[in-house]
Chains A and B, each alone.
Chain A
Amino acid sequence: MSLSWKTAFLSAWLVMGFWHAQMASASPPLAYLIEVEQIEQSLDSFEGALTPQVTEAPKRLQKLIEREPHSAPAYAAAAHYLLFVGYKDGWPGFGTNGADATTALLDAAQKADPDYCESFWLRAQLFIALKKVESAWQPIRRARSLACADPQIDVVAARISNAQDDAVAAERDFLKVLDRGPGPDSRSRSAFSTAATDYGSLLYALHRFDDLRRHIERWEKSGQVFAAWTNVNAARQLLLIGDFEHSQRLSQTTLTVLDLPAARMQRGIALYGLAWAAEISPRNPASVASTLSLARQYLPDESVAAKTLADAPCCQAPAWKTLLSRHMKT
């Protein structure tokens, strides 16, 4: 699983830890559990920045697996790493590609502890990634029967419903997570921001734009400024529905935290949108010029912005069509 593949999926997936996980009957040593726990925290907080904690995670997990081969947490954390950070070469001894290695690691976790909570939602997530959506319900049902407290279970359940076009069930599960709030720990925050991302996408797909605006405002008030990819997705949705000013500010939030190329591009598109909107309904020409100048700093090629907006709900009026076609390169 390549890093770029991961990046594409980060908006939809997020990470988990294991702090609610149930231990195997013979508990592994505390030092082992704490080390896995710390790695899980870094995976929960992963937003695309390859910090030393993230880059060193595979080596540390491999050692933990070798040290405690009959314990589930390190296997599950390794699967977590593969699913959310990416690893095109798989995992040594478990498979040479991401899907095979993740499956084998989750099998090993299940063998070590059949009731280990994290492995259930990770397996369901893997099924979604492999487009085996119907199979994804089984581990979620099992996790729920065990009353696993991991909030990612509701998030993944919502994703399965969403993938099966059951918007009502998906919305119910997303809201279950969002109504609980972000929580203080990395796992809860991760589940909260993942649910926020996916719920925004669902509202956008359903063309419930007013609900989407309200959802994004609520998200912003939650103060989860470090969830860069949730901001990236929200900023994209806002620019597509024509809330350019709000969108560019949200991208700016992301860029304050993490210099993501996607956020730079989106801020550029939103700024072009702002300037072009002012051209259509002229305001202050000086402001148009300075906005365009700023837009070019983020996205030099204005045709990219024009092409993005040409298909968006914001810009289907004839005046927009004419303006955008002028800015598109042939």
Chain B
Amino acid sequence: VLCSAGISCSRLSDSDYLQGYVDANNLIDSYKGRGEALEQAAQIVTELGDKRPDLPHSYVARARLGMYGIHVDRGWFAEFFGADDSPEYLLKEALSADPKFCDAQAYLGHVYYKQERYAESLQALDEAEQLSCSNEWRSVYRADAELIRQHFDQADTYLARVPAVDRSASESERNRYVRALGISINIAFWRGDRERMRQGIAQQLALISEGDAWGLANAASSQVQTGDFDDAIANARKALDLMEFGAAKESLGTALFGSWLWRNSHGQGNLEEDARIWSEAESFITFKDALQKLWISLANRDLAYRYLLQQRVEDDRAQQHSAGTGKSAK
């Protein structure tokens, strides 16, 4: 890729090397569930590593690719590769080449966070704070780590350092800000602040690229949390039009159940329409599996919604019980 872009294939200058690193990161940041961007990034990264093994950047990019690779193949960090290819190993290699390489330190903090090694994560992110660095992913990662500890104010402080951008910004910058908004929406959820959540979701939707199925599905998932089920349905459908994937199906099914509950608990039910909604919802997710999200949704603060949800839970249990009894009777 670098050669075809006119960069010398024999030896890379520092500036070409760094440009390659930026390009690879942009490609990785642009990953939205389809493999082409990662494949292209992988080619660049391999070339960077081959031509300048003395520099640490390719290790960081490989670690990032590894994180996505695991996501695609086996679920996020469910398991690690062999030790030599693990993101942790690669990032430590990068740091052994340059202990002051901020990107490596910040990503290492994120890797630890994903592995639920929170103390190590905070230590790595603290060290990243000490380094001269323009990479504000470190603030996003730090906000993640603060959120998991319920240090909401601190998380807000780190999020405030992430530069707000508009659609004219690069995809990488937008992705970073969209991610920061996601954390901010999560904090607002725990604070029960529906309006702040809605503002955050609107900002996210304004920033995501056309064709960003993941972005739409994330918005749909947040809208289930706010209890804006119809908006969630619309966004999940758009996401599924772009790409078929489990998270969008789950959000669509859950939002359909939520919409059914809301309509019927507020005198807006319609027998035929309701039967269609329920049946469509069940084609994506079972009511039992959707229950947790329907229950923690801020819609549940509405008593009519909650009472109907409870009734459905009871009916569901009774049905399962009678089905069980039927089986044993046979």
Contacts and interface: CB of A to CB of B under 8 A. Distances in A.
Interface string B258-282: 0000000000000000000000000
A220 B295 CA distance: 14
Given A220-B303, A223-B300, A184 B119 contact: no
B33 interface: no
B123 A30 contact: yes
Interface string A127-160: 0000000000000000000000000000000000
Contacts of B191: 183-184
B89 interface: no
Contacts of A34: 118-119, 122, 149
A220 B190 CA distance: 16
Contacts of A182: 192
A185 B152 contact: yes
Nearest to B313: A256
Contacts of A35: 119
Interface in B179-207: 187, 190-192
A37 B149 contact: yes
Interface string B287-313: 000000001001011010011011001
B289 to A, nearest CB: 15
Contacts of B118: 34, 38
A249 interface: yes
B310 A252 contact: yes
Nearest to A184: B190
Interface in B126-180: 149-152
A184 B150 contact: yes
A186 interface: yes
Given A34-B118, A252-B314, A19 B151 contact: yes
Nearest to A185: B150
Contacts of A221: 301, 303
Interface in A248-295: 249, 252-253, 256-257
Size bracket of the B interface: 20 to 34
A29 interface: yes
Contact of A225 (B123, B150, B152, B295): B295
Contacts of A225: 295, 300, 306
A253 B309 CA distance: 9
Interface residues of A, number: 27
A41 interface: yes
B190 A253 contact: no
Contacts, number: 56
Contacts of B295: 225, 256-257
A31 interface: yes
Contacts of A38: 118
Residue of A41, A221, A225 most packed against chain B (CB within 10 A): A225
A249 B119 contact: no
A183 B118 CA distance: 23
B150 A223 contact: no
Contacts of B151: 19
Given A29-B119, A30-B123, A225-B300, A253 B306 contact: yes
Residue of A31, A41, A186 most packed against chain B (CB within 10 A): A31
Contact of A256 (B152, B190, B310): B310
Given A19-B151, A184-B150, A223-B301, A253 B123 contact: no
Contact of B119 (A30, A183, A185, A222): A30
A41 B118 CA distance: 15
A182 B313 CA distance: 26
Contacts of B190: 184-185
B293 to A, nearest CB: 13
A245 B118 CA distance: 46
Interface string A19-58: 1000000000111011101100100000000000000000
B192 A223 contact: yes
A84 B76 CA distance: 36
Nearest to B126: A30
A34 B122 CA distance: 10
A179 B72 CA distance: 46
Nearest to B310: A252
Contact of A30 (B122, B300, B307): B122
A223 B118 CA distance: 29
Interface in A177-198: 181-187
Contacts of A19: 149-151
Contacts of A37: 149
Contacts of B119: 29-31, 33-35
A220 B123 CA distance: 41
Interface in A53-110: none
Q: Which 6 A-B pairs have the closest CB atoms?
A: A31-B119, A184-B190, A223-B301, A185-B150, A184-B191, A30-B119
17 contacts: A19-B151, A31-B119, A34-B118, A34-B119, A181-B192, A182-B192, A184-B152, A185-B150, A221-B303, A222-B301, A223-B298, A225-B300, A225-B306, A252-B307, A253-B306, A253-B310, A256-B313
Given A33-B119, A185-B152, A256-B310, 18 more contacts: A19-B149, A29-B119, A30-B122, A34-B118, A34-B149, A37-B149, A181-B192, A182-B192, A183-B191, A184-B152, A184-B192, A222-B192, A223-B300, A225-B295, A252-B307, A253-B306, A253-B310, A257-B295
